[in-house]
Every structure is written in structure tokens, then in C-alpha cells.
A = this chain, B = another copy of it.
Amino acid sequence: MHDVHALAIRSIKASRALSALSCASRNKALRMIAEALIKRKELIFQNNQLDLDAAEASNLPAPLKKRLRFDESKLAQVCKGLEDVAASKDPLGITTLSEEITPGLDLYRVTCPIGVIGVIFESRPDALVQIASLTLKSGNAVLLKGGTEARNTNRVLCSILQDAAESAGIPRDFALLLETRDDVKKMLQEDECIDLIIPRGSNALVRYIKENTRIPVLGHSDGICHVYIDNDADLDMALNIAVDSKIQNVSVCNAEETLLVHKDIASTFLPQAAKAFERAHVQLVGDPVACSIIGCEPACDADWSTEYLDYKLSIAVVPTLEAAINHINHYGSHHTDCIVTHNEDHASIFLSQVDSSSVYVNCSTRFADGFVYGFGAEVGIATGKIHARGPMGMEGLTTYKYKLIGHGQTMQSKVNGDFEYTHQRLERPCPY
């Protein structure tokens, strides 16, 4: 158990120093971190083995043990990620607004770090490195709370990161480790020090955190993703997309949980789909019409709002495009939803009316991912609508400040009519 307040104060100090660093020095630190991880990999593997043995002893489920493993291939992935982040464009110091308020009084809006970010993440220890690399590149200090199952691995990873950063001239407190639930509870009280909390994990965790802090939370909750097969769809393409979205990886948030089919093509499409899903051992539940066509089990109302994360799919037949959109907006989780159609008007209506962070035409829902989107890495997928939405890369870890450069202008001189507001857009970036 730590003195979390003291850690938060150290994070603020570190964040002030980080915000003043050049992109070159942030990138140098990222590359030195990768080198240090490789140089000290045996130490990492040894500590990871301790966590794996403990997991074995306490009979943790196999998938969890798999996520816990940090081996050569994970190390390679992590170092590739660090290189990608180092190679990526600086998210800081970008002028996003440039305007003459009146001659000699210029306003600029420039991106800058948020400050101190608290991230609560799952049992994958490689996530620690990924998150720390994104917060470092974006000039933020981070408080990290990983899964307790990965305690030994997280400790050694974090200390290697801190040593490498320090030798690169970065404050070693750029990343600090929290370990217990009690630490998290204390972190949630630090609204004077911490600017943002990012919980990765269960819906329940996100709700708990939102209920217990005044700090803004960018949460990742359920992924109840839909594929809607329009009456103007190419049915072979539709089948590929519906199957891939469901089974390519059933345990991820961007996997399809509900299939919606337009009534005009239901009797042709559903029998083929049912065969394909049965071959893949996917359990099907449906609304009355779907049941009458493919004789699957009836779905209960809860099915439409359940994230199975498993070989199970709910199927509904809808009379119209509007009905499909209403179903998605009512039961969905605003994550990722797809329409399969060749009708441009239907695609356009679907894209504008479906209230989700990712809306797709003719491709698998599985593409909802920061790497796929080209963000290099992701801190998470935000299912809210504020600040950052959907896969969240470095841009989501920045904010901005307004810089106003004058020559002695006062409000009274404006009131006296000494000058008027011109509000002319300027074409130059902020000189400061």
C-alpha cells in the first residue's frame, strides 16, 4: 500500500517537466526504454514466471494465464510498439486555431499535455509498457494500476522504464506504479492532482469508478456490436462479414453480438448463415421470425443487450432500415455497428443515424482498433462521447491552451472604441 497522495504530487512535478521536453527527447527515451527491455529481458521473464506459477497454483482460467505471459514474442511486440510510437508525429504544439482578434492581438489554440493520468488496466503486463509509451509521447505523467496477477512482472517492467527514462533525461516519475485496490480508492480522491482516469476492464469497474470520483473518466464499457444485412446486400459478402465479425475472435469488445437481417432477404440469407454459424459451433438465438426460418432457440429480451464474448449470437429480422437503426440505438453500446449494402442512400442514412463511435459499411466490426486505425497503439476504446471517442491513441491524451499575444490592449480601450474585433483567420502557426 502506497502513500498515493505523495505519488500524485510526484506525478504533477514530473508532468510539469514532461510538458517542457522536446519531442526529440521524448522519442529518445522511448527508444532507450526498448533497448533496456531487451537488455534486461531475462529479469522480466523470471519475474513473469513467478506470476505464471502463482496463476498456476491458484488455477486461474487458461485465457487469463495466456494474457499474463510475457515472453520473447510479447517483448518483440512491445518493442515494435515503442518504435511505432517514437516514429509517430508529435501530438503536442500543434496550432489548431489561429486568429487575429484585432490588429496586434492574435489568438492561437495549441495542443498540450493533459497533465496527470491514472490508468487502471487488465492482467496483460505488456499493456503497462504500451500505456506508458503513449502517455510519455503525449507529455503526460501516468499512475499505473495493473492486474494483481501480474504484480511481479509489472514491478520489474515499471522499474526498467523508470531507469531507462532517467538515463534519457526524463523524470523517472513519468510513470508510477499502484498495486492495491486500496491504492485505486485513494487515487480516485486525488481530483486536485489527477486530471483524467482511464479504466480498462469490466463495465462494473467503470461504473464503480464513475460513482466514486470527481475526476473525469474515459471509460470503456460493453461492446454490443451489430451487423445489419440490408435488402440491397451482396449475400456472399454479407455472410463473410457476419461470420468474421462473430467468430474471428469471440472474446473481444468489437465482436458482433447481434445480427440484424432485412425481412426481404431473411428467408434466403438466414439458412446459409445458420449453416455457417453451426459449422463454427456458434449457438444461435432469435426473434420469432428468425426462429420460424431457421428453427433456433428463442431470444429473451436480455439477449439484445448482452455482450456474450462467446460463441453465441442473437438474430433479429427487421422490417426496415429504420427499424434496424432503432434496434441498434436502443440495445447497442455505441461501440461499433456495420451495415452490409450496395445502396448508397441506405449506407448514408445508417452512418448518420446510428449513434455509435464507429459506424461501418461493408467490412468486419473487428477493425475497430487503434492499430488498425493507424494510431500506432491505443490506450483504450472510449464508449462515451466526451473528449475522445472510439479507439483512443495519443491525440486523446492531449488537451489545448489558448495563447493570446497582444501589445498592451485593455478591455476599457475596447469599450472606449479604440479598436474593433476583426476575427480574421490567420494562416500561421503560433510563434511561441
- Contact assessment for B387 and A386 in the assembled complex, using a CB-CB cutoff below 8 Å: yes
* Cα A415 to Cα B249 with chains together (Å): 12
Binds B, one of A34-42, A122-130, A284-292, A366-374: A366-374
Whole-angstrom distance between the alpha carbons of A359 and B249 in the complex? 48
In the bound complex, do residue B352 and residue A19 qualify as a contact, i.e. CB atoms below 8 Å apart? yes
A281: interface (CB < 8 Å): no
**Complex partner residue of A373 from B114, B359, B402, B405, CB under 8 angstroms:** B402
Segment with Cβ contacts to B, from A67-75, A210-218, A260-268: A210-218
Copies of this protein in the assembly total 2
**Taking the complex as formed, is A1 at the interface, i.e. its CB lies under 8 A from any CB of chain B?**
no
A220 CB, min distance to chain B CBs, angstroms: 14
A402–B338 Cα distance when bound, in Å, is 12
Contact with B along A403-431 (1 / 0, CB 8 A): 11111111111010000010100000000
Contacts of A210 in B (CB 8 A): 191, 214
A405 near B366: Cβ-Cβ < 8 Å: no
Query: Is A390 in contact with B401, judged by CB distance below 8 angstroms?
Result: yes
Q: Which of B356, B358, B364, B415 is within 8 Å of A409, CB to CB?
A: B364
**B399 and A386 contact, CB distance less than 8 A:** yes
Docked pose: A358 CA to B355 CA in angstroms = 33
User: Do A410 and B248 touch across chains, with their CB atoms under 8 A apart?
Assistant: yes
CB-CB under 8 A from A373, the residues of chain B are: 99, 101, 107, 402
Cβ of B399 and Cβ of A385 under 8 Å apart? Answer: yes
Partner of A403, one of B351, B374, B410: B351
Interface residues of A in 363-403 (CB under 8 A from B): 363-364, 366-368, 372-374, 384-387, 389-391, 399-403
B residues in contact with A20, CB < 8 Å: 352-353
Partner pick for A363 among B105, B218, B352, B390, CB 8 A cutoff:
B105
Q: What are the 8 closest A-B residue pairs judged by CB atoms, nearest first?
A: A363-B406, A244-B410, A366-B411, A374-B423, A387-B387, A237-B408, A210-B214, A216-B386
In the assembled complex, 21 residue pairs joining A and B whose CB atoms fall closer than 8 Å, in A order, are A16-B329, A19-B353, A99-B374, A101-B367, A107-B374, A115-B385, A195-B384, A216-B384, A237-B407, A248-B410, A361-B404, A361-B432, A362-B407, A362-B408, A362-B409, A367-B411, A373-B402, A385-B399, A386-B387, A389-B401, A390-B401
Name A residues whose Cβ lies closer than 8 Å to a Cβ of B: 16, 19-20, 99, 101, 105, 107, 112, 114-115, 191, 195-196, 207, 210-211, 214, 216-218, 234, 237, 240-241, 244-245, 248-249, 329, 347-348, 351-353, 355-364, 366-368, 372-374, 384-387, 389-391, 399-413, 415, 421, 423, 432
